[in-house]
Amino acid sequence: MAERLRRLADKLANTSVSVLITGESGVGKELFARRLHYSSPRSNKPFVAVNCASLSAGILESELFGHDKGAFTGAIRSHAGLFEQANGGTLFLDEIGEIAPFIQAKLLRVLQEREVRRMGGAVVRRVDVRIICATNANLAKKVEEGAFREDIYYRINVVQVRVPPLRERVQDIDDFIDHYFKRQCLPPPLLSDDARNLLYQYEWPGNFRELENELERLTALYDDVREITANMVSERIIHREDAGSLDLHRFYETPLPKAVEYLEERLLKYALARSNWNKTQTARVLGLSRQGLLKKIKRYGIQRQGYVVGEEDGPS
C-alpha cells in the first residue's frame, strides 16, 4: 500500500466516521480497510469481511443478521450473524452496491439503531460495530436510478476514499515486488530496466491481483530469482497492444474530439504517476506550463492516490 494511503488510513482510524472505499476490483480496498481497523482502538476486536456480491440474497441475509433454529428449512441450529461476530470491532462490506432492496432496509435499521434481530427470532441484540463499505460501482448513479437507497448512501458515505488502479500508481510496483518476495521468505530480486519498462507500461486490468499472479508465475517457473528480466515476463505483458494496450474498439464511431480527450487524460495520469505527482516535472515532460497542467488535472477530475474524494490536491 502506498505511503499516502497508509497515512490516510491511520488518520481515519482515530475517528468513528463511516468510510466508503471506491476503486476497481483488485486495487486493495480490503487492504485499506484492514489497515484502518488495525490502526484503530478496535484493533484487538474482530475484523470481519464479506463480499456482498458473492452470495445470494437469502444467504447474505442469514450471514449478516444471523438466524434462530427453525427459522427456515435446514436451520437446524442458531447462527450468529456477522454483525454479532464483529461486535466491538469492524465489519467490512465489500461490493455494498450489490445488496438486494429488502436487505438494504434491514441494514438501514442496524445503521440507525445499532441493533440486530436474527431471522426467525424475537430477541433484539445491541451491537457496537464500525462499518466500512467498499464498491467498484457508481453508487451515486445507483441512487439516481432507484437501485440503492439514498438514506443508506449518505450514512455509509461520510468520508469517501478512492483507491486508484495500478496503472495510475506504477511507482508502487517495485515496493509490491519487494513485499511479495519478503512475504514468501525470499530475498527481493533486482528489476532490470527493460522489465521495469514493460511492467510500468502495461495496463494491469486486474490491478494488484494480476501483478501478484504474475509474481507467483515467476517463482513457479524460475528457481532462486535474483533478477527479473524482460524475457521472464509473460507474453501478454511483452506483446501488449500498441500505445499502452489501448482499447481501439472504444473509438469506433467516436467523434475525434472525444477520442483525443480520452488519450489526453490517459497520458496525463500516466505522466503524473511516473513522476510521483511532481507537477513541475510532469509539466516539463509534457511540454506544458505548470498552470496549464493544473487546468487539465482539474478539467479531467484527476485525483492523486490516497486523497479523500473532494479534497483539494495541494501543490507539489
Spell out the per-residue pLDDT of the chain, length 316, in tens. Answer: 678 889 999 999 999 899 999 999 899 999 999 999 999 999 999 999 999 999 999 899 999 998 888 777 777 788 889 999 999 999 999 999 999 999 999 999 999 999 998 888 888 899 999 999 999 999 999 999 999 999 999 999 999 999 999 988 888 999 999 999 999 999 999 999 999 999 998 989 889 999 999 999 999 999 888 999 999 999 888 876 433 445 555 565 678 888 888 889 888 887 887 776 788 888 988 999 999 999 999 888 887 654 444 444 444 5
What is the pLDDT at residue 36? 96
Domain span holding position 263 = 247-300
Residue 307 lies in a domain: no
For position 142, which CATH number holds? 3.40.50.300
What is the pLDDT at residue 133? 97
What is the pLDDT at residue 98? 93
30 and 110 housed in the same domain: yes
43 and 152 housed in the same domain: yes
170 and 55 housed in the same domain: no
For position 190, which CATH number holds? 1.10.8.60
What is the pLDDT at residue 240? 65
Residue among 234, 235, 185 nearest 213 (CA):
234
143 and 232 housed in the same domain: no
Element (H, E) at 38: helix 29-38
**Widest Cα–Cα separation across the chain:** 70
143 and 172 housed in the same domain: no
Q: How far is CA 32 from CA 36, 87, 146, in A?
A: 6, 20, 29
Rounded-to-integer distance, Cα 250 and Cα 254, Å = 7
> What's the grid cell of residue 167?
496503472
Unique residue bearing C-alpha cell 501478454: 236
205 and 116 housed in the same domain: no
What is the pLDDT at residue 87? 95
Q: Are the C-beta atoms of 6 and 68 separated by less than 8 Å?
A: no
Q: Are the C-beta atoms of 139 and 97 separated by less than 8 Å?
A: yes
Residue 310 lies in a domain: no
What contacts 36, CB < 8 A, 6 or more positions away? 9, 12, 13, 19, 90, 132
38 and 134 housed in the same domain: yes
- What is the number of domains present in the chain? 3
Residue 316 lies in a domain: no
Residue 311 lies in a domain: no
- Estimate the share of the chain in helix, then strand, then coil, as percent rounded to the nearest 5: 50, 10, 35
53 and 79 housed in the same domain: yes
Residue 226 lies in a domain: yes
225 and 251 housed in the same domain: no
Whether the model clears a pTM of 0.85, i.e. scores above it, the answer is no
For position 260, which CATH number holds? 1.10.10
Residue 309 lies in a domain: no
Residue among 64, 56, 99 nearest 81 (CA):
64
Residue 42 lies in a domain: yes
121 and 175 housed in the same domain: no
* The domain boundary residue, chosen from 243, 265, 282: 243
179 and 232 housed in the same domain: yes
Q: How far is CA 169 from CA 68, 214, 270, 271, 305, in A?
A: 47, 17, 8, 10, 8
Question: Residue 124's beta-bridge partner residues?
Answer: 117
42 and 74 housed in the same domain: yes
Q: How far is CA 139 from CA 22, 95, 153, 262, 264, in A?
A: 9, 10, 7, 23, 27
